[in-house]
Copies of this chain bind each other. A is one copy, B any other.
């Protein structure tokens, strides 16, 4: 289920097929059906559909009405995720898929999880594009101090999202000691940069390095080749709207394959991240309940809301643009 459209996904060889999970006959879900040579069969009254959604068999009837077809969606598998284009198929574009790190990528040690939210997906987008909350929601789990919340990251608008980067200094964390590659214990700082893309994809890199590195780069974007990297981590996260009040959140994360972190360390850190995401879920679902008491009431915006508002605005703009293009294409038809 994405944006209230039920979906059935299946593999045909290496190809992934995405169809509406709804038989044209009587709306039974095809996901209760059966994969067969040449398609999928609804197991209510036996309608069979080819991969393009056309009905190829109605038991006991030769005529196959044109209307007896199921909607299909452009779909791509990339970096361990399946990307379904829910809009006008003519406007689907693989280039819109943000660059993330797959679970099988040999350069990284990734772990993956997912959480279902009882909230509108834009509240989760808001959360992920404004990390101010880390100091309050995740003070324990991520060990962030309030000093972190008092600084603003750098923002760069992207065509379909926003880039957010900053240096995290030792005072931003309750624990800021790390072991360097040559075995010394040092105070670290980290360079954190992520792109947040439509409709809700986060691709974040966090590079830990000895305190003082930021100063060497005038607190700007560092030349990572010239940095004494203590640890280099990536996280991919995808906010998937199911209904107006349910959202599935996929996430993965881990360090470089060369990381000296033990598996149990990585497990522990990944589990801590999950606990933090559950903290977000608790807060956001409570927020959603309050919003639903009076949905039209305005928010009071702050300087930390620039990125969240950029994403909301882009979604509204691109949705409108896609509709206009579809309408234009339709009216241009002979």
Chain A: residues with CB nearer than 8 A to chain B? 4-6, 21-22, 24-29, 32, 41-46, 58-61, 65, 67-68, 126, 130, 132-133, 135-137, 146, 149-152, 282-283, 286-287, 290-291, 293, 297-304
Contacts and interface: CB of A to CB of B under 8 A. Distances in A.
B300 A61 contact: no
A3 to B, nearest CB: 11
B46 A149 contact: yes
Contact of A287 (B4, B29, B126, B302): B29
Majority DSSP secondary structure for residues of A touching B: loop
A132 B45 contact: yes
A29 B136 contact: no
A68 B283 contact: no
Max chain B Cβ within 10 angstroms of own Cβ: one of A4, A24, A25: A25
Contacts of A24: 299-300
Contact of A26 (B6, B46, B135, B287): B287
A293 B132 contact: no
Given A61-B303, A67-B298, 15 more contacts: A24-B300, A28-B286, A28-B290, A29-B287, A32-B282, A41-B136, A43-B137, A45-B132, A45-B304, A46-B132, A46-B146, A58-B302, A60-B132, A60-B303, A60-B304
Contacts of A299: 24-27
A38 to B, nearest CB: 15
Contact of A283 (B44, B58, B126, B298): B44
